[in-house]
Amino acid sequence: MIEIKENQELKFNNLISYRAKIKRTDLEKVGRSIDEYIVRSGAKRVGNPMTATYAVDGDCLDIELLMPIDTVLDSIDNYIFKKQIRIVNAVVAEYKGHPAGLQEACNEMNKYIMEHNLQPITVAYNVTKNVDMLDPNNTEVFVYVGINPNIL
């Protein structure tokens, strides 16, 4: 199930960002290493991870993983602290279903953007709202794309 909404906002404070080109198969391992870094630093994760995919080349992703945390940390190596991420005037696709269907939801959102002559100004940010390990069909992911507010 997908619901598309306009004029939405994505806003989070205190995030650890890790951007790199990685293989799809390494995504979970990278997520664990970010979690370990957060724990070693004395911080706590306060929300589900977000991802922003900048490019895909076969099995290689240029991806940013963002983890909301409860405190301010220094940026070290590939772990960059971001005080805030905020996207205003976003189109959001609220997806509920099996994770395998997320790409189709993104395709529907892209079609919506094209049909409504909207101009994207950010990559898509996937925000995991709920993961149900017992029933993957209950997974909820919201996909945000910032839209140019200018009318040209």
Instruction: Give every CB contact of residue 4 below 8 A, 6+ residues apart in sequence.
Output: 91, 92, 93, 94, 108, 109, 112
**φ, ψ for residue 135, nearest 5 deg:** -140, 95
pLDDT at 132: 75
* Block mean pLDDT (10 aa), the chain, length 152: 95 95 90 91 92 91 95 91 95 93 91 96 93 84 94 70
DSSP designation for 87: E
pLDDT for 137: 87
H or E element in which residue 146 lies: strand 140-146
Eight-state DSSP code of residue 150? -
Q: Rounded to whole angstroms, how far apart are CA atoms 27 and 33? A: 10
Q: What is the pLDDT of residue 100?
A: 87
Q: Compute the distance between CA of residue 16 and CA of residue 8 in angstroms, rounded to an integer.
A: 23
What is the β-pairing status of strands 140-146 and 60-68?
Answer: unpaired
pTM across the whole model: 0.90
